[in-house]
Amino acid sequence: MSKLNIKLRDPNEVMKLSRLGSFHQSKLSFLRSFIREFKDWEYKRNIFELDKDGYGVAVYSFEKKKRNYSLICFAQHINPNERSDRVIATKWDTAFVLHDGLPARSDINRLKKNVPKQEIGRMSYKELTLSRANKSVRVFDHVVNSLSEGNQPDRNLLNKVGYLYRTTAVYGSGKFGLADRFRIKNRKEVYGPFRLEMMLVYLVRQFTFDQVNHIAKNKNPNKAVQLDENIARNLGIGNSTGLGMAPFIVNHPTLLHKWIYNREKALKEIRSIEVVNNDEFNFFKDCLTKSKKIIDTWLTDSEYQNKKINSLKSDLVKFDVFLEKNCSIKTKYLWNEIYLWVEKNLKEECIEYIVSMMMEPHDKIIDPLINNMSSEEEQYFSIPGHRKISDLKTILEKKYQSIIKINFKEKNSIANFWFISKNKEEPRVANRYEEQGAELEQPLAIARDIKQLYERILKANQSETIADFLLNNDDLRHVVRRAFIADKFPYSEIQDNTIGASLMPIDMLRLKLSFFGAVKFDPRSDKWLRINMYQGAPLSHELKNSDDTWIYNSLN
Amino acid sequence: MITFSEIETTTKRASKAAGFSWGVAEEIGKSIRSLELFGLPGIINLNKYLKKIKIKHPKKIAKIEKKNKTRDKELCPIYSGVAFLDRCLELEKLKSLKFYKVSYPLLMLPFISRASEMISKKILVQFDKSSFLLNFDKSIFSKDIEKQAPSIAKVVNIEFLENKNSFSEQDWKELYKLSEETFVEESDSLKKSAAGAGLTDND
């Protein structure tokens, strides 16, 4: 145990939206843990029945010990005016489903009628995840044309975009008839959060390479060349993400806690290392050097994001100087010294960047945490009705310190409301004073409701039981439940107002996407953004020999 | 097939739309999912009940006692169930309870089932001709359950069952004796080298 007695960081600071919205991918990220878990599975392209234009069906699978997971791809022609990344779209260039096992022809035929329809199709318990993607037409056509002429595509163009296809949603866990999570949760290989969603996206990436090669070959059989593997490796899969993700992190408090807690635990353990190994320190510096080159490819028109990127870049310059002048492995608790300097001298964007980087050399610390990123949420659902109001008051004062100080009588504090849109059943946020529908507000204004709960319990008999209190206050039952969860799980609650006028919903998206392992955050407004996944990842035939630092390989 | 996840989400939203608070609607979502998982007609009963209360939302139950009646026409199975669940630790002392004139009594079951898990005791629920043995929220054993269950029960009896075995001591002894046939008799030399052998425990 460390002599320094380093503590976990305070949830009241870590769980602020500005901090959560500064998180970066790390060794804990799900697409990296997917590759670690599946690298020794047998990858196979089982079916590839595309016509000369690349339309048709393909099946890819992973197999180990007689268990198979198969991606079924359906590619179709759509008109340019039908192509849209918005959730209201009804047609996509490609649609995908991850099937449990190897699909029979009858399965493929059944799915062919449903998967391209996405939300209005129906899957079965044999399907695990569902998605669709549109071509980045400019890049896709350029790559096909170049390859068909015997040339490799323009690397500069590809670096700017970073993918051939962009997914616009990946669904799982019982949506649209897909298997409920309980059916598969006891399988060790898919226990990690979003493991099957990560598998789908990885296999989709392979399909996009196979498809461009196939079309180019058919276009000009004598001259066409295959996409250079170094170029392919540097391509990921894009994703357009909207507000659908934001309520997830509010609605799954114990899961959110697990993600953040493990990150914090990793940092605490790293800071507690007394003697820093030279190899590990060099490894950290090497990852940092490689990663900095990639930051230059984070291109965006978003003023908000550019400020963040510029802040990161200038702080990294300061950090380099500090690293060069002040850091030696002769210093005891060097990681802690680094962290303390970073926290004192740099801004949130760079602080969290360095925290991610500090995890890189520490497999022994990180690996056990990766297997602890899921949560059995049902276990924490019941409210302890026998507890006293005084207990709840203590919890609120301890766990929601800054929330209960917010004045919700101010107009700006309740400027927004969250609702579910009728046409697509998707979460949305709107201005309470300008839009209609606030009476159908979703229970996502946690801060406001916690404050209301606090005000009511101040007036209540402190020796009364929670059960008695709820008889006359069941409108606040949802936050009573949350408070008792927050008591056990300190990182379960965003310590900010999710309906205030200054809310940046993309901070909520960024938090979740960083745990996915996404990079290249490119906000297109304050409500949706584009990202890239798997850029630099090993190609499917390279998986077995890949190492976990692939994320820093792109451009290097 | 509609998935359990879809059942929970839609049930929660429908219950909110029918006038329950979000917190209670969350409870209903979990409960109907649980009924359907156990193979009981949760959706059918909830659908009918929500239609029934569309015009007049039911009253909440003010207090739970050994015998529970309402001045209102009928007891709401949801509010009764939630109140029972919230107080299950203290209600256990009553050994048994009765709820009179309960609408769609099947809807009370999942709350009592969760209480069974919380207090670590099986609970027997009876109404009309149906009996349900609730096993720590792991299963619901029932016989004579109608496919759609009654729209009202004159009385719902709830009995906390003491933790006791379903078999006699003789049954257990016979089985244990058979299990001993998998054991190996230790020789003297093995006994001498077993863990703790040769040491004094008075150090």
Distance from CA of B43 to the nearest CA of A (A): 17
B149 is a domain residue:
yes
CA–CA separation, A342 vs A351, rounded Å? 6
Q: Across the interface, which of B3, B24, B87 has its CB nearest the CB of A474?
A: B24
Q: What is the pLDDT of residue B196?
A: 66
CA–CA separation, A371 vs A386, rounded Å? 34
CB atoms within 10 A of CB B90: 13
Q: Is A244 on the interface with B (CB under 8 A)?
A: no
Q: Which residue has the tokens 């510096």?
A: A285
CA–CA separation, B76 vs B82, rounded Å? 10
Mean pLDDT, chain A, whole residue set? 95
B146 is a domain residue:
yes
CA distances from A12 to A34, A266, A272, A398 (A): 31, 18, 22, 10
From chain A, the residues in CB contact with B85 under 8 A are 382, 385
Tell me the β-bridge partners of A42: A63
Q: Across the interface, which of B4, B5, B24 has its CB nearest the CB of A477?
A: B24
Nearest CA in chain A to B79: A471
Q: Across the interface, which of B3, B61, B62 has its CB nearest the CB of A177?
A: B3
- Whether the pLDDT of residue A426 is over 90: the answer is no
Distance from CA of A20 to the nearest CA of B (A): 27
Distance from CA of A172 to the nearest CA of B (A): 10
B81 is a domain residue:
yes
CA–CA separation, A127 vs A131, rounded Å? 12
pTM surpassing 0.90? yes
Whose CA is closest to B70, among B95, B31, B100?
B100
Strand duo A127-135 + B130-135: pairing? unpaired
Please enumerate in sequence order all residues whose Cβ is within 8 A of that of A390, keeping only pairs 6 or more positions apart, or say none: A462, A463
Number of domains in chain B: 1
For chain B positions 116-155, those within 8 Å of chain A (CB to CB) are 118
B95 is a domain residue:
yes
CA–CA separation, A145 vs A153, rounded Å? 8
Q: What is the pLDDT of residue A423?
A: 78
Tell which of A434, A456, A488 closes a domain.
A488
From chain A, the residues in CB contact with B1 under 8 A are 124-125, 177
Q: What is the pLDDT of residue B193?
A: 72
B77 is a domain residue:
yes
Q: How confident is the model at residue A2 (pLDDT cuts 50, 70, 90)?
A: low
Q: What is the pLDDT of residue A425?
A: 81
Q: What average pLDDT does this structure show over A505-533?
A: 94
What percentage of chain B exceeds 90 in pLDDT? Answer: 76
Number of domains in chain A: 2
- Whether the pLDDT of residue B192 is over 80: the answer is no
Q: What is the pLDDT of residue B202?
A: 64
Q: Across the interface, which of B6, B24, B114 has its CB nearest the CB of A174?
A: B6
Q: What is the pLDDT of residue B201?
A: 65
A103 is a domain residue:
yes
Distance from CA of B86 to the nearest CA of A (A): 4
Asked if A443's CB is within 8 angstroms of B22's CB, the reply is yes
- Whether the pLDDT of residue B197 is over 70: the answer is no
Q: Is B21 on the interface with A (CB under 8 A)?
A: yes
Q: Is A402 exposed, middle or buried (0-12, 13-18, 19+ CB in 10 A)?
A: middle
Distance from CA of A434 to the nearest CA of B (A): 23
Among A107-116, A169-178, A256-265, where is mean pLDDT lowest? A169-178
For chain B positions 63-102, those within 8 Å of chain A (CB to CB) are 63, 82-83, 85-90
Nearest CA in chain B to A479: B23
Please enumerate in sequence order all residues whose Cβ is within 8 A of that of A25, keeping only pairs 6 or more positions apart, or say none: A32, A356, A514, A516, A517, A518, A519, A551
CA–CA separation, B156 vs B75, rounded Å? 11
Q: Are residues A57 and A203 in the same domain?
A: yes
B12 is a domain residue:
no
Asked if A476's CB is within 8 angstroms of B23's CB, the reply is yes
A334 is a domain residue:
no
Tell me the pLDDT tens digit for each residue of B18-60: 999 999 999 999 999 999 999 999 999 999 999 999 999 999 9
Mean pLDDT, chain B, whole residue set? 91
A61 is a domain residue:
yes
Asked if B21's CB is within 8 angstroms of A474's CB, the reply is yes
Asked if A174's CB is within 8 angstroms of B3's CB, the reply is yes
Which residue segment(s) compose the domain that A228 sits in?
39-242
Tell which of A432, A454, A488 closes a domain.
A488
Q: What is the pLDDT of residue A185?
A: 87
Tell me the pLDDT tens digit for each residue of A439-460: 999 999 999 999 999 999 999 9
CA-based diameter of chain B, in Å?
82
Determine the 3-state secondary structure of A236 from DSSP.
Answer: strand
What percentage of chain A exceeds 90 in pLDDT? Answer: 90
CA distances from B4 to A111, A174, A219 (A): 21, 7, 47
What strands lie across the sheet with B152-160, from one edge to the other? B67-68, B96-103, B152-160, B123-127, B130-135, B139-143
Q: What is the pLDDT of residue B191?
A: 73
Spell A21-49 as b/e; 16+ CB within 10 A means b. Answer: bbbbbbbbbbbbbbbbbbbebebeeebee
Q: What average pLDDT does this structure show over A226-239?
A: 96
Q: What is the pLDDT of residue A1?
A: 53
Asked if B86's CB is within 8 angstroms of A467's CB, the reply is yes
Nearest CA in chain A to B118: A382
Distance from CA of B76 to the nearest CA of A (A): 14
Q: Is A481 on the interface with B (CB under 8 A)?
A: yes
Most confident of the ranges A108-117, A236-245, A524-533, B161-170: A108-117
Best B1, B3, B68 member to test A by mutation, with max A CBs in 10 Å, is B3
Q: Across the interface, which of B5, B83, B86 has its CB nearest the CB of A174?
A: B5
Q: Across the interface, which of A177, A471, A478 has its CB nearest the CB of B83?
A: A471
Please enumerate in sequence order all residues whose Cβ is within 8 A of that of A105, keeping only pairs 6 or more positions apart, or say none: none
From chain B, the residues in CB contact with A174 under 8 A are 3-6
Whose CA is closest to A502, among A5, A107, A125, A21?
A21
Q: Is A329 on the interface with B (CB under 8 A)?
A: no
Helical packing angle, B4-17 and B42-52, nearest 10°? 10
- Whether the pLDDT of residue B148 is over 80: the answer is no
Tell which of A460, A488, A516 closes a domain.
A488
Tell me the pLDDT tens digit for each residue of B93-118: 999 999 999 999 999 999 999 999 99
Which residue segment(s) compose the domain that B70 sits in?
54-160
Q: Across the interface, which of B3, B82, B89 has its CB nearest the CB of A180?
A: B3
Q: Across the interface, which of B3, B13, B90 has its CB nearest the CB of A178?
A: B3
B9 is a domain residue:
no
Asked if A478's CB is within 8 angstroms of B60's CB, the reply is no
Cβ atoms of A27 and A361 within 8 Å: the answer is no
